[in-house]
């Protein structure tokens, strides 16, 4: 939310990307999420090769350079921490 707050403080409206700049896969997300509850994702998930897309020529990765340069913004929560927060929040609802 700090990044959103910094954007709102700007006199001129512009587009900013708040991202890590690091590519992640659905598999990365699954491995981290399962690890949060002490499980190995590979034991529970199966990949259907018929449903796997070919890699994109240009990977979809958020470029936070403008936010870094103009706002002094840096990510404060790691991918792993964010996924763990999401898993813990979901478990709390169960």
- Reduced to 3 states (helix: H, G, I; strand: E, B; else coil), residue 23 is coil
The count of C-alpha atoms lying within 13 angstroms of the C-alpha of 81, restricted to the half-sphere facing its C-beta, is: 5
Tens of pLDDT, residues 15-50: 999 999 999 999 999 999 999 999 999 999 999 999
Average pLDDT over residues 80-94: 96
Residue predicted with more confidence, 36 or 58: 36
Average pLDDT over residues 71-90: 96
Spatial separation of the C-alpha atoms in residues 73 and 75, rounded to whole Å: 7
pLDDT at residue 94, rounded to an integer:
82
């Amino acid at each position: 939310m700090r990044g959103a707050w910094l954007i709102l403080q700007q006199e001129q409206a512009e587009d900013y990307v708040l991202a890590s700049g690091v590519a992640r896969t659905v598999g990365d997300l699954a491995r981290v999420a399962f690890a949060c509850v002490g499980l190995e994702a590979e034991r529970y998930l199966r990949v259907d090769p018929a449903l796997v897309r070919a890699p994109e020529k240009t990977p979809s990765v958020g470029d936070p350079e403008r936010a870094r340069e103009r706002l002094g913004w840096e990510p404060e929560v790691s991918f792993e921490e964010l996924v763990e927060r999401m898993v813990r929040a979901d478990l709390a609802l169960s």
